[in-house]
Amino acid sequence: MGTYHAAAEELATDGDTTPYEKQILRKDGSHLGSLCATKRLSGSGHESECVEFILDVTERKRWEAEKARLESRDAAETAERGRISRELHDRVAHSMGVAHQSLQLHMALAESAAERAREKLAVAEETKNGVATALRTLLETSAPDGVDAEFSFSGDESLVNHDLRAQVYLVTREAIRNSLKH
């Protein structure tokens, strides 16, 4: 859509205009959003007779603005659902898997190796205690017998924002898994 000024130039040279939008002030002070086109009926220059066609598009503009607002809100909600889904998949599912595996090992070892069974029960309880604990637990429960694995951590992880802690956990978890696998 062209502007009002471009339309005036077109009218002067061509005798008609392509549609353009303009705001018209109503008597009550409100604005009318309009789609306009002008055509010269006779003559040439400034004294020729012209007709201007005006279509009220105020309601259409309101609907377009509301649609854009709703689409923006929907996009934000979709992004939040995606973040929650990743969080559930990456953190919660893993923690539950470690806890479940530890509880299964506890039951299997309860009679034959009571001390190791208690360790597995402790592992199941620790998975809710932070990144360092979860990574240490992952390493301890994933390393096969006979593989020496050591984990060290320093600092206060509560000083690091939650999203960064989650990313550190995910990257380090994959590094542990890959090193044990290969």
Q: Give residue-wise pLDDT tens across range 82-117.
A: 887 777 677 666 666 766 676 777 677 677 777 766
Report the predicted TM-score, pTM, of the whole model to 2 decimal places: 0.37
Please check whether residue 135 lies inside any domain of the structure: yes
Number of domains in the chain: 2
User: Do the Cβ atoms of 168 and 131 come closer than 8 Å?
Assistant: yes
Containing structural domain, residue 177: 85-181
Same domain for 125 and 41, yes or no, is no
pLDDT confidence of residue 48: 61
Please check whether residue 62 lies inside any domain of the structure: no
pLDDT confidence of residue 25: 86
Strands (E), the chain: 20-25, 31-42, 49-56
